[in-house]
Amino acid sequence: MSEANRRMILNLVLSNAGSHCGAWRHPNTKLDEIHDLQHFLRLARRAESARLDSLFIADGLSVEVKAVRHGPIFGFEPLTLLSAIAAVTENIGLIGTVSTSFTEPYNLARGFASLDHLSGGRAGWNLVTTGVDRTAANFGLTHLPTHAERYEKAREFAEVVLKLWSSWEKDALVQDAVSGVYADVNKVRDIFHEGKYFSVRGALNIMRSPQGRPLLVQAGSSEEGKDLAARYAELIFTIQRTFEDGKLFYDDIKARTARAGRPSHGIKVLPGLHVIVGATEEEAKEKAAELRELIPIERSVMSMSNMLGIDFSAYSLDDPFPKLPDPEKTNAYQTFHKMVKKIVDSRPITIREVVEKYWVGSGDLNVAGSPEQVADVMEYWFRNGAADGFNVMPQLGFGDTDLFLDLVVPELRRRGLFPAAYTGRTLRENLGLDPL
Task: Tell me the pLDDT tens digit for each residue of 335-355.
Answer: 666 667 777 777 778 877 777
- C-alpha separations of 78 from 85, 94, 136, 375 in Å: 10, 9, 20, 29
Q: How far does CA 347 lie from the centroid of its chain?
A: 31
Question: Domain ranges in the chain?
Answer: 3-278+364-430
Q: How far apart are CA 332 and CA 329, in angstroms?
A: 9
What is the pLDDT at residue 310? 78
Q: How far apart are CA 188 and CA 114, in angstroms?
A: 17
What is the pLDDT at residue 2? 47
pLDDT tens-digit readout, 193-231: 999 999 999 999 999 999 999 999 998 788 899 999 999
Short-list 93, 9, 13, CA closest to 418: 9
Sign of CA dihedral 253, 124, 403, 299: negative
- C-alpha separations of 236 from 1, 3, 26, 50, 265 in Å: 17, 18, 31, 22, 12
What is the pLDDT at residue 327? 63
Q: For residues 333 and 157, is the Cβ–Cβ distance under 8 A?
A: no
Burial zone of 318 (CB within 10 Å; 0-12 exposed, 13-18 middle, 19+ buried): exposed
* The amino acid at 349: I
Burial zone of 213 (CB within 10 Å; 0-12 exposed, 13-18 middle, 19+ buried): buried
Q: How far apart are CA 62 and CA 75, in angstroms?
A: 11
CATH of 3-278+364-430, one of 1.10.3470.10, 3.20.20.30, 3.40.50.720, 3.20.20.150: 3.20.20.30
Q: How far does CA 145 lie from the centroid of its chain?
A: 22
- C-alpha separations of 144 from 5, 132, 304 in Å: 44, 8, 18
What DSSP element (H or E) covers 389?
strand 389-394
Exposure string of 58-90, with b = 16+ CB inside 10 Å and e = fewer, is: bbebbeeeebeebbbebbbebbebbbebbeebe
Q: For residues 112 and 84, is the Cβ–Cβ distance under 8 A?
A: no
What is the pLDDT at residue 3? 54
Alpha helices in 273-389 (DSSP H): 281-294, 297-308, 334-344, 351-353, 371-383
Residue spans of the chain under pLDDT 70: 1-4, 74, 306-307, 327-339, 356-364
CB atoms under 10 Å from CB of 348, counted, come to 8
